[in-house]
Amino acid sequence: MDSIIVTGNGPLSGQIPIAGAKNACLTLMPATLLSDEPLTLTNAPRLSDIRTMTTLLQSLGAEVQALNEGQVLALSSHALTSTRAEYDIVRKMRASILVLGPLLAKHGHAEVSLPGGCAIGARPVDLHLRALEAMGAELDLREGYVHAKAPAGGLKGGIVDFPLVSVGATENALMAATLAKGTTLIKNAAREPEIVDLARCLQKMGAQISGEGTSTIEVQGVETLGGATHRVVTDRIELGTYMLAPAIAGGEVECLGGTIELVQSFCETLDAAGISVEETPTGLKVSRKNGRVRAVDVTTEPFPGFPTDLQAQMMALLCTAEGTSVLEEKIFENRFMHAPELMRMGAQIDVHGGTAKVTGVDKLKGAPVMATDLRASVSLILAGLAAEGETVVNRVYHLDRGYEHVVRKLSGVGAKIERVRNE
Ligand code: EPZ
């Protein structure tokens, strides 16, 4: 198992290219199941989660080719052999549930393993199921699988009214509604840029969608969908993560491909903390010239609020801020597992339920720490950029799920970082 060793090495400078979004690609790939025509995704990120989705789609009989060193995905599902998503693949990645809506809409039936538990929270899929039931699906949960059946003639348009905002359930409902007979209204829909990116791709395939990016999405079902070529939107979470590198270590870094629009509320929080963010023709330039970071309070919310996927990284910044910050995690019930690891580095953090109080210290000290999930792992690397001495982050397989070339990207702006294999 690999570890990453980071040594505090002073201010950073240079450029970091931001890849296509994992969380967009993971919903764009299953969209191929809605059509017999080829779908080509460009600007695809090279991540283990994308490889897991590839394995899942191939297990159903879809063709998935990774071209151009994996940055282009050529997908086709014209000759599907199965509509059963096996537990062995689904247990590796919860986003596998995103094949359920498209399979049901296109083939009228599907068997998809339930994803099971997750480190950051219970993460049920009840809203996904209720959305499909609102389109006339019959669902039966048995032996750990969802057995889904569409009514005769296929899914029907309906009203999907989510009691709480869910990114995944909105994506499943949106994809299923494109082939449902009649009109579907998705109320209290998620507004994330990944949802807008999915809608854009589906529109290119011939879907009739309006209201994407707002809380109410309307879909007019069509008979069939065609093919398309679609560029995956920039990864706003990778973007936010690397924007925090110069904020934590000092210096100035330009994140290529970033736009304020993708990270508006995050930029407002950085501004309040004394970090300058400037839009350039090629990206976002972030700098912390002098002085200490100011303490700020953060509450995670669905888009356009502060993203939960940047909460751990933000906590790493606030560990050395001037004053006390309060972070409230409103999306997931167990997403502070990075806190005890940051405390091993000398941070002062008090966690009570969904609230963490971070009292800034002058400097963190390097230590061996353990990654517990994807975003927690990168927050420990960020903390190590400004810590005294060496930080050794273990279990970095979590990181590979959502970040490509971390060592190359950070050492490219002057960080002292390496990946080592433990025998
Ligand atoms: C997506 O997960 C992202 N994953 C997550 O990113 C992200 O944290 C999350 O959205 C919130 O922004 C992907 O896109 C692959 P939700 P998702 O459904 O769709 C509850 C990362 O680090 N809920 O919006 O699973 C749920 O438990 C990952 O890249 C139900 O109760 O999130 C949570 O509390 C981590 N029933 C809340 O809603 C349901 O049926 C929001 O979850 C569905 C969700």
pLDDT score, position 178: 98
Parallel, antiparallel or unpaired: strands 276-280 and 283-288: antiparallel
pLDDT tens digits for 279-294? 999 999 999 966 789 9
Going from the Cα of 311 to the center of ligand 1, the distance in angstroms, rounded, reads 14
Where are the extended beta strands (E) located within 18-105? 39-42, 63-67, 72-76, 84-85
Give phi and psi for 226, each to the nearest 5: -95, -160
Residue 395 in contact with residue 419, Cβ under 8 Å?
no
pLDDT score, position 98: 98
**Three-state SS for 313?**
helix
Q: Which residues of 274-285 are buried (b: 16+ CB within 10 A; e: fewer)?
A: bbebeeeeebbb
pLDDT score, position 9: 87
Instruction: Report which protein residue has its CA nearest ligand 1's atom 43.
Output: 125
Q: Is the CB of 167 under 6 A from ligand 1?
A: yes
pLDDT score, position 254: 98
pLDDT tens digits for 176-197? 999 999 999 999 999 999 999 9
Residue 42 in contact with residue 232, Cβ under 8 Å?
yes
Residue 267 annotated among the catalytic residues of the structure = no
Instruction: Count CA within 13 A, CB hemisphere, residue 371.
Output: 29
Q: Is the CB of 117 under 6 A from ligand 1?
A: no
pLDDT score, position 292: 86
Going from the Cα of 314 to the center of ligand 1, the distance in angstroms, rounded, reads 19
Instruction: Report which protein residue has its CA nearest ligand 1's atom 16.
Output: 166
pLDDT score, position 116: 81
Q: State percent of the chain over pLDDT 70.
A: 100
Could you give the CA distance from residue 110 to residue 107 in angstroms, rounded to a whole number?
A: 8
pLDDT score, position 402: 98
| CA 37 to the chain's CA centroid | 27
pLDDT score, position 55: 98
Smallest CA-to-CA distance from 80 within 56, 97, 63, 100 is with 63
pLDDT tens digits for 388-415? 999 999 999 999 999 999 999 999 999 9
Angle between helices 264-272 and 236-249 (to 10 degrees): 10
Could you give the CA distance from residue 186 to residue 130 in angstroms, rounded to a whole number?
A: 12
Could you give the CA distance from residue 347 to residue 383 in angstroms, rounded to a whole number?
A: 10
CA 406, 407, 408, 410 torsion-angle sign: positive
pTM for the whole structure: 0.98
Where are the extended beta strands (E) located within 281-371? 283-288, 298-299, 324-328, 348-352, 355-359, 368-370
- Selecting among 118, 201, 255, 319, the annotated active-site residue is 118
Copy the structure tokens of residue 136: 């006339």
Give phi and psi for 414, each to the nearest 5: 105, 5
Q: What is the DSSP string of 195-259?
A: HHHHHHHHHHTT-EEE-TTSSEEEEE--S-B--EEEEPPB-HHHHHHHHHHHHHH-EEEEEET--
Which of the residues in the chain have pLDDT under 70? Answer: 289-290
Instruction: Report which protein residue has its CA nearest ligand 1's atom 30.
Output: 124
pLDDT score, position 120: 86
Going from the Cα of 123 to the center of ligand 1, the distance in angstroms, rounded, reads 7
Instruction: Count CA within 13 A, CB hemisphere, residue 257.
Output: 18
Could you give the CA distance from residue 4 to residue 416 in angstroms, rounded to a whole number?
A: 11
Q: Is the CB of 126 under 6 A from ligand 1?
A: yes
Going from the Cα of 292 to the center of ligand 1, the distance in angstroms, rounded, reads 34
